Amino acid sequence: MVAPSLERDSSGAARFTGCTSIREFDFLGKLGEGTFGEVYRARSKRDGSIVALKKILMHNERDGFPITALREIKLLKMLSHTNIMRLREMSVERSKGEGRKKASMYMVFPYMEHDLSGLLENPAVHFTEPQIKCYMIQLLEGLRYLHGNCILHRDMKAANLLISNRGILQIADFGLARPFDEPPPQPGKGGGEAKRDYTTLVVTRWYRPPELLLQLRRYTSAIDMWGVGYSHREFSAPYF
């Protein structure tokens, strides 16, 4: 398998260009597990960089590759912004021995040391007002990029906001994201409602805006902005 070359965009960030074998990485430990995948910390044997490997869970192999993962990969390959988690490459783990068991697939991301949820739960962490402003600006810049490219995130929450030791915030987890056709709301004007129906089975319960709680299906990018407001509130008043 040919290793991908990481081309760079105008900001200097490497772009997704291919697929590698999982043998290109040394596993360093498990970071966590969610509905759509398991996440591991690993080191690249090629360049020594630390990465996060998200193993795509196949709940029912007869249904084929999960549509949520396919949608996430497709979107992330198109995105390039400092405040959006970057998909470096895909990696495949082929089964040993006999049989026709399907290969395991991993999404490879740059490693981010923290997520906002974990920092808020840490009693030793106290955000200053300048820090809160800095992170909120980065969050809004990332979201402006998404909405400007007609993409709804649909799962804005503290656990999906990753923060590096250098103070860079990135929006992550695009499993529920999808393109939308409506133009983004204009400054000083109401956004109205969408021109088509979307599922209301999005956004983690405690972060859901009123339109989702009321089962309104023609929502707009405002549902992401509700999550931004909630995140700001968490910065200002951390968990008990």
**Binding residue ranges for ATP:** 54
Residue 212, H or E segment: helix 210-213
Angle at the Cα of 78 from the Cα atoms of 197 and 231, rounded to 5 degrees:
65
Which positions make up the binding site? 54
* CA separation for the pair 164, 223 (Å, rounded): 26
CB atoms within 10 A of CB 85: 21
Angle at the Cα of 95 from the Cα atoms of 92 and 99, rounded to 5 degrees:
135
Torsion of CA 44, 119, 127, 158, to 10 degrees: 90
Torsion of CA 18, 24, 29, 30, to 10 degrees: 30
Q: Which residues are catalytic?
A: 155
